[in-house]
């Protein structure tokens, strides 16, 4: 089944488009057109928010923060209507819009065992690291009376060990993303809790 998602290529976009980014309004217009599932739309906004927050925490300038934001915001754009073409369709759409290849490649490797593209840059590794984990932490927040308020790392990790909780979330990808980014799962969870986008 996983082979169906293999992109079978390693090059995305054109170097001549470096620095060419969609505006936030353009990106949201695309998402509103493509994504009808509100939960999925919120997930993409979450990941985009976390990516921007991470870039900001590293002292990156506003342009770089915007680039990171777009990579997170658009990574699952085709999943709702065209799951069998994930993430081929969004890549082709961004290439047709002459989008910066760094954004496209980050999207192409947000699930290396599915798409066959290994994350190399910090932006690519952090998108992979935040993707599954942010969804998991949000699922945990929904079952807590106070949501994110007072949430502790130990509580999240306890739920991670419970394979029946948010069973669709890949624990393997969370662990792999942490190892590749060389950031502990605890530190990633802490960042997600502190910087999470509230519903």
Domain around 167: 2-195
CATH value at residue 156: 1.10.3210
To the question of pTM greater than 0.75 for the whole model, the response is yes
Q: What is the 3-state secondary structure (H, E, C) of the chain?
A: CHHHHCCCCCCCCCHHHCCCCCCHHHHHHHHHHHCCCHHHHHHHHHHHHHHHHHHHHCCCCHHHHHHHHHHHHHCCCCCCCCHHHCCHHHHHHHHHCCCCHHHHHHHHCCCHHHHCCCCCCHHHHHHHHHHHHHHHHHHHHHCCCCCCCCCCHHHHHHHHHCCCCCCCCCHHHHHHHHHHHCCCHHHHHHHHHHHCCCC
- If pLDDT is split at 50, 70 and 90, which confidence band does 169 have? very high
Total domains, the chain? 1
Average pLDDT over the chain reads 95
Per-residue pLDDT tens over the stretch 79-131: 999 999 999 999 999 999 999 999 999 999 999 999 999 999 999 999 999 99
């Amino acid at each position: 089944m996983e082979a169906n998602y293999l992109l079978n290529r390693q090059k995305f976009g054109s170097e001549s488009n470096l620095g060419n980014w969609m505006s936030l309004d353009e990106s949201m217009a695309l998402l509103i057109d493509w994504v009808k599932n509100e939960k999925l739309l919120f997930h993409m906004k979450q990941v985009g928010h976390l990516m921007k927050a991470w870039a900001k925490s590293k002292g990156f300038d506003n342009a770089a923060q915007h680039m990171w934001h777009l990579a997170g915001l658009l990574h699952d754009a085709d999943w709702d209507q065209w799951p069998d073409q994930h993430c081929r369709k969004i890549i082709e759409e961004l290439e047709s819009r002459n989008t910066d290849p760094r954004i496209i490649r980050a999207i192409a490797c947000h699930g290396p065992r599915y798409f066959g593209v290994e994350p190399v840059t910090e932006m690519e590794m952090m998108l992979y690291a935040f993707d599954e984990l942010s969804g998991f932490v949000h699922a945990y927040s929904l079952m807590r009376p106070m949501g994110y308020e007072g949430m502790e790392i130990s509580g999240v990790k306890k739920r991670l060990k419970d394979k029946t909780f948010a069973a669709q979330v890949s624990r393997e990808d969370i662990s792999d993303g942490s190892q590749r980014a060389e950031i502990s799962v605890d530190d990633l969870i802490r960042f997600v809790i502190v910087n999470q986008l509230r519903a």
